[in-house]
Amino acid sequence: MLLRHGETEWSASGQHTGRTDLPLLPRGEDQVKAMVPELHRLLGGRPPALTLVSPMRRAAHTAEIAGLDPVTDPDLREVDYGELEGLTTPQIRARGPQWAGWTVWSGTLPGGETLAEAAARADRVLARAREALSGGDVVLVGHGHMLRILGARWIGLGPEYGGRLILGTAALCVLAAEHGSEALVHWNLVRS
C-alpha cells in the first residue's frame, strides 16, 4: 500500500516540495485521520509486515497519525526539484519560452535529479517491499511524485508514466499481483 502525506502549506499552494521539510497543516492532519479507518480496514486489522517512511517530517507525522510503526527509508524522499524547489508549475512555465509546457514528467530539474535517478530509488524501495510481502502487507508512506513513480514502476512502466497517476494528499493506493502480474487495485482513495 502507498500512503501520501497529508496537506502542507506548499502542497495546498501547488509549490514543488522536495527537500524543504514542511510540517503538516491542521487540515493535513485531519485528512490523515479521516483515512486511518480505511487503511486499517484494508490491512484487515493486522499490523503491516513492514512500513517504510520517507525521512521528511510530513511523511513521518502521517505515519504516526496512522498508527504505523515505520522504518525510515531515504529512498522514499520526494523527487529533488533542485532550482525549481518551492516554485509552482505556472511559475516555472513563466521562466521563458523553453519552459512552456514544462512538467516534472517531461522537463528537466536543474540542480535536481533526473526521473531515471528517482526511478532507481523507487526500484530499491520496491525490492525491499517485495522481500517483506511474504510476511504480510507492506505500507510505504511518502510524497506525491515519488509515490506516483512507485506506482508506475510497480506495473512495469517508466517513471514518466507517473504523470498519468493523479494522487491527492492523504491518499491511499493498493498495489497487488494477480496471476503473476503486478497491478493497481485501488488508486487515489481519498477520505477528506
Residue 38 is among the residues annotated as catalytic for this protein:
no
Which of the 8 DSSP states describes residue 88? -
In 3D space, the residue among 157, 166, 118, 165 whose CA is nearest the CA of residue 18 turns out to be 118
Share of the chain above pLDDT 70, in %: 99
CA gap 127, 42 in Å, rounded: 22
Residues 61, 78, 85, 145: which is the catalytic one? Answer: 78
Matching residue, cell 525490492 = 127
Q: What is the pLDDT of residue 192?
A: 58
Does the 2-189 domain belong in CATH 3.40.1010.10? no
The predicted pLDDT at position 191 comes to 78
Query: What is residue 153's three-state secondary structure?
Result: helix
- The share of the chain scoring above pLDDT 90, in percent, equals 96
Q: What is the pTM of this model?
A: 0.97
Query: Tens of pLDDT along 104-121?
Result: 999 999 999 999 999 999
Q: Which regions of the chain does DSSP assign to beta strands (E)? A: 2-4, 50-53, 71-72, 138-142, 172-178, 181-189
Based on the residue annotation, tell me whether 40 is a catalytic residue of this protein: no
Q: For residue range 123-155, list pLDDT tens digits in order.
A: 999 999 999 999 999 999 999 999 999 999 999
Say how far apart CA 187 and CA 76 lie, in whole Å.
18
Question: What residue spans define the domains of the chain?
Answer: 2-189
Average pLDDT of 90-105?
96
What average pLDDT does the structure give for the chain? Answer: 96
The three three-digit cell numbers of residue 178, written as one number: 494477480
Q: Are 53 and 59 in contact (CB under 8 A)?
A: yes
